[in-house]
Structure 1
Amino acid sequence: MAEPPPGPHPAPSPATTARVALVSGGSRGIGLATATALARRGHRVLVGSRSGRAAAGLTGLTCDVTDSQQVEEAFARAERDHGPVQIVVSNVGARDDGLLMRMEERTFRRTIDTNLTGAWRLLRRAAAGMADTGWGRVVLVSSVAAVLGTPGQANYAAAKAGLAGLARSAARELGPSGITVNVVLPGFVDTDLTRDLPPRRRESILSGVPLGRSGTAREIAETVAFLTDEQAGYVTGAVLPVDGGLAMGH
């Protein structure tokens, strides 16, 4: 058997430390796939949703991100029953499409409140507990619409684009406390959120994807899960596309 080359050898990577993770919007699609991926890594996964229900093996929490009091109560319950929440994934994605000139202001405000302000509510509440432990991972799930723009989705695209500014500002503020904040930018993924698109619209989008197919929820989830690992501790303030090349260069 050949001798190993001289010199120091890297130590094996440490096993993932089990932590408490909260995934908002984790009852289906990318959120459920993310919750499952984190559970496979040994984390105690809590799924926040309006219904408070969760898939088998996961723990449900009632957490409407448009309600600051519910966000506070969800974190308080999690901390009381399971310990400090050190991983937070904000995955809420609500669409209310309409052409710009026909869109009512309340529609625009509601979409911003759910997708952007909701993520801010989670991040604000999570930061204090993470700072106390000196370790934290936050991942905000955005959309390729944030960088490409999508006709009929000015409200949704604006909200998802805002996540990048939120994450980068938070990354600078929270980095000294051992907290990373990143954004994952999914492309066209086969979920309930995209299945209602007209066939021609789906074909038009897929024609611009170099890989020639839609993504899967699990492919997005594994990227999110990587950003929560110890090994991703030097990645913060990043906006990471997982889009089959759809938005490359943006």
Structure 2
Amino acid sequence: MKIDLTGKIALVTGGTGELGRVMVRTLANCGAKVAIHYLSNRTKAEELLEEIQDDGGTAIIVQGDITKEASILNMKQQIDAELGEVDIVVANAVVQYTWTSILEQSPKDYQSQFDSCVMQSVYLAKAFIPAMQAKRSGRFIGINTECSMQNFPNQSAYVAGKRGMDGVYRVLAKEVGEFQITVNQVAPGWTISEKDRGDDAGSDEAYLQGVPLKRRGVDQEIANAVAFLASDLASFITGAFIPVTGGNVMPAI
């Protein structure tokens, strides 16, 4: 049994990010044609494109602001023209900002998280789900976070955005399920990626005390969960919030 996405077209927003780039590579390695979204890091997008093409895969790069509906619609037009209709959406992009306490956090940071977590998902759904409905097939995957369950100090804007996103995904799963479209979330823990690999990563003992597997996850493990949910192996899973955290957070029943 293997994950085979041959013939599928995937969009990964934030495709040049630390986790996004590994999702892009993994989906391409599974046979999908991939649209690599970026906001400003065109150099990394081009590097990923060349890497996938050198490995015999098919990809394109698309630039856009995922907080603007018009920008997402422009991306859709480009993908439709160059690859075809999207089968798999991975909403991975998020606006970065400096975390601080609620009393000191700027209101614009709450707005940025709402726009990049909630409204990105709404705009992507409006743009790409109608074609999935027509085909009666599709995968809509959002990247959430363990922080949504932890609610630690200084996380308020991020948690608020991601918890709002969670509500959208749960409702969307019920609204489009009859079309055999699955809607799921992957929630990474504190993950080791390219920027800190080999830099004594995973040595934070305070964090590891709460992780049953006693290690930090790696970027490939997040991408593996995404690829699974994108595949036919996960055809009867929808509305799920799946932590990839080594057990650091455990949703209750």
Q: What is the TM-score when the length of structure 2 is the normalising length?
A: 0.86
CA distance in structure 1 between the aligned counterparts of 2:5 and 2:34, rounded to whole angstroms: 14
Residue 28 of structure 1: CA displacement? Answer: 2.6
Name which of 102, 106, 109 aligns with 1:107: 109
Alignment root-mean-square deviation, CA: 2.3
Pair 188,194 (structure 1): closer, same or farther in 2 beyond 3 Å? farther
CA distance in structure 2 between the aligned counterparts of 1:82 and 1:59, rounded to whole angstroms: 8
User: Paired residue for 2:131?
Assistant: 129
1:35 matched to 2:24? The reply is: yes
Q: Which moved more, 1:158-167 or 1:72-81?
A: 158-167
- What is the DSSP-based 3-state SS (H/G/I as helix, E as strand, rest coil) of the residue aligned with 1:247? coil
Identity level (%): 30
Give the number of the structure whose alpha-carbon radius of gyration is greater.
Answer: 1
1:62 matched to 2:51? The reply is: no
5+ long unaligned stretches in structure 1:
1-11
- What is the DSSP-based 3-state SS (H/G/I as helix, E as strand, rest coil) of the residue aligned with 2:103? helix
Deviations 1:26-56 (A, max 9, x none): 1132111111110011110011111373212
What residue identity is the alignment partner of 1:26?
Answer: G
1:89 matched to 2:90? The reply is: yes
Pair 115,194 (structure 1): closer, same or farther in 2 beyond 3 Å? farther
What residue identity is the alignment partner of 2:72?
Answer: V
1:25 matched to 2:26? The reply is: no
Name which of 230, 248, 251 aligns with 1:246: 248
Residue 209 of structure 1: CA displacement? Answer: 1.2
Name which of 72, 97, 100 aligns with 1:98: 100
The runs of at least 4 consecutive aligned structure 1 residues that moved more than 6 Å come to 192-195
Q: How does 1:191-206 map to 2 (within 5 A)?
A: 191=193, 202-206=204-208
Contact 1:24/1:92, CA 8 A, preserved across alignment: yes
CA distance in structure 2 between the aligned counterparts of 1:72 and 1:225, rounded to whole angstroms: 25
Number of matched pairs: 235
- What is the DSSP-based 3-state SS (H/G/I as helix, E as strand, rest coil) of the residue aligned with 1:165? helix
Contact 1:93/1:114, CA 8 A, preserved across alignment: yes
5+ long unaligned stretches in structure 2:
53-58
Q: What is the TM-score when the length of structure 1 is the normalising length?
A: 0.87
Pair 81,52 (structure 1): closer, same or farther in 2 beyond 3 Å? farther
- What is the DSSP-based 3-state SS (H/G/I as helix, E as strand, rest coil) of the residue aligned with 1:100? coil
Pair 17,42 (structure 1): closer, same or farther in 2 beyond 3 Å? closer
Q: How does 1:1-250 map to 2 (within 5 A)?
A: 16-51=5-40, 53=42, 54=45, 55=48, 56=50, 57=52, 58-96=59-97, 97-191=99-193, 202-250=204-252
What residue identity is the alignment partner of 1:119?
Answer: S
User: Paired residue for 2:55?
Assistant: none
Contact 2:3/2:231, CA 8 A, preserved across alignment: no
Residue 93 of structure 1: CA displacement? Answer: 2.9
CA distance in structure 1 between the aligned counterparts of 2:2 and 2:222, rounded to whole angstroms: 23
CA distance in structure 1 between the aligned counterparts of 2:101 and 2:193, rounded to whole angstroms: 23
